[in-house]
């Protein structure tokens, strides 16, 4: 953590006490949307709060559709992502042996959150959180988000997010681990974190492999927190007497650090995984990355047909080693794509805010 100064709270989860310093923030859920292959933006999101950083969490950024051409099926994917105001901006691409003019098909799907920057209150109220978020000036509690789960877990193929956490609303899963063999993949369809291996199998990949000692922090958004169970603690209310912070939950402790993920497309014909390791930007000692899928890769199993070589298209997950992360092979799409005619690997460019595990563990 940044320092040893601040108010110390003991959240109801019984975990490590939290020092509320200048990194005390909140996260907001802004919405989700399909990204169509024949467009470059989609609106309809809640307005991003002033003085905040967008956090785009893609569920998937590739779609391989059923086709009849022996040279391969239609494929749509997203190669870059950003957020402005209330719109998700992206670059979608479409590949098909029948022509690359994109139809109105989905290329990807993403959730969008934001994390507040530091700001001093316009008016002084009692205890002041200098350079933290303005909890006393939050007028819409639907923009609030807090840490509702933290634990160190072992994953052997799959681990389910507790149902009582899922039921609180839309969530972000931050994780920190060290494993260069098996990736982690957040499956929002089943509300679980999965690991994958068997990349030489006919399916392209299989759930499996063990990833131990994973530090997990789940941030749930869109609700006003209840009071601490004990009746003792710290509560902040806004001018409408709504609870905008309760020491029942740890806050989002963010030091403005982030991963700056660069984009690439590789048409290499070899087997194996494409990796591009990146370290965080900013002041963070033990970064935790938001789990998401930032592109696509291929399995190793090859099938030859009509002078083409085919391999299974995979959605990407993440690997972590020390403080560095890379996209990696993960969940199978179940569809084959032709070597050379289709990309071996894609990584979408974006920025991922990261929190510091030292506050929570």
In Å, how far from its chain's centre is CA 27?
A: 13
The label of the residue with tokens 């560095």 reads 324
What pLDDT is stored for residue 128 in this prediction? Answer: 55
pLDDT at 341 over 70: yes
CB 152 within 8 A of CB 146: no
At residue 190, what are phi and psi to the nearest 5 degrees? -115, 5
What pLDDT is stored for residue 48 in this prediction? Answer: 95
What pLDDT is stored for residue 210 in this prediction? Answer: 97
Whether the CA torsion 57, 352, 294, 297 is positive or negative: it is negative
CB 217 within 8 A of CB 320: no
pLDDT at 256 over 70: yes
The label of the residue with tokens 């289709």 reads 342
Domains of the chain: which residue ranges? 7-359
3-state percent breakdown (helix, strand, coil) of the chain, nearest 5: 5, 50, 45
Q: Could you give the CA distance from residue 293 to residue 316 in angstroms, rounded to a whole number?
A: 5
Provide the pLDDT confidence category of residue 136 given band limits of 50, 70 and 90. low
The label of the residue with tokens 């290499």 reads 268
Provide the pLDDT confidence category of residue 1 given band limits of 50, 70 and 90. very low
* DSSP assignment of 227-253: PPTTS-S-EEE-TTS-EEEETTS--EE
Mean of all residue pLDDT scores within the chain: 92
Nearest to 214 by CA among 320, 353, 292: 320
| Partners of residue 352 on adjacent β-strands | 259
The SS3 of residue 12 is coil
**How do residues 278-332 score in pLDDT, each as one tens digit?**
999 999 999 999 999 999 999 999 999 988 999 999 999 999 999 999 999 999 9
Q: Could you give the CA distance from residue 130 to residue 121 in angstroms, rounded to a whole number?
A: 8
């Amino acid at each position: 953590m940044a320092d040893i100064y601040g108010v110390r709270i003991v959240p109801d989860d019984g975990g490590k006490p939290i020092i509320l310093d200048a990194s005390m923030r909140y996260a907001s859920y802004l919405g989700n949307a399909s990204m169509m292959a024949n467009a470059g933006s989609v609106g309809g999101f809640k307005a991003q709060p002033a003085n905040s950083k967008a956090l785009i969490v893609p569920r998937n950024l590739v779609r391989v559709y059923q086709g009849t051409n022996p040279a391969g099926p239609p494929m749509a994917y997203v190669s870059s992502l950003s957020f402005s105001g209330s719109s998700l901006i992206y670059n979608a691409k479409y590949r098909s042996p029948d022509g690359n003019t994109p139809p109105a098909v989905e290329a990807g799907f993403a959730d969008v959150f934001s994390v507040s920057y530091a700001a001093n209150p316009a008016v002084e109220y009692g205890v002041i959180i200098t350079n933290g978020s303005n909890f006393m000036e939050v007028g819409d509690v639907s923009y609030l988000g807090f840490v509702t789960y933290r634990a160190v877990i072992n994953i052997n193929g799959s681990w389910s997010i507790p149902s009582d956490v899922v039921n609180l609303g839309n969530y972000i899963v931050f994780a920190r681990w060290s494993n260069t063999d098996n990736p982690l993949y957040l499956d929002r369809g089943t509300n679980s974190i999965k690991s994958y291996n068997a990349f030489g199998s006919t399916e392209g990949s299989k759930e499996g492999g063990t990833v131990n000692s994973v530090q997990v922090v789940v941030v749930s958004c869109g609700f006003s927190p209840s009071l601490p169970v004990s009746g003792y603690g710290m509560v902040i209310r806004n001018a409408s007497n709504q609870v905008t912070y309760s020491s029942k939950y740890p806050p989002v402790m963010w030091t403005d650090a982030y991963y700056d993920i660069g984009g690439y497309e590789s048409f290499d014909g070899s087997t194996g995984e494409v990796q591009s390791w990146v370290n965080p930007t900013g002041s963070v000692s033990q970064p935790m990355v938001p789990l998401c899928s930032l592109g696509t890769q291929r399995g190793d199993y090859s099938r030859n047909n009509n002078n083409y070589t085919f391999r299974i298209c995979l959605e990407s997950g993440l690997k972590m080693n020390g403080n560095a992360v890379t996209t990696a092979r993960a969940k199978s799409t179940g569809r084959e794509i032709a070597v050379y005619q289709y990309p071996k690997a894609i990584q979408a460019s974006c920025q991922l805010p990261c929190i510091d595990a030292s506050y929570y563990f």
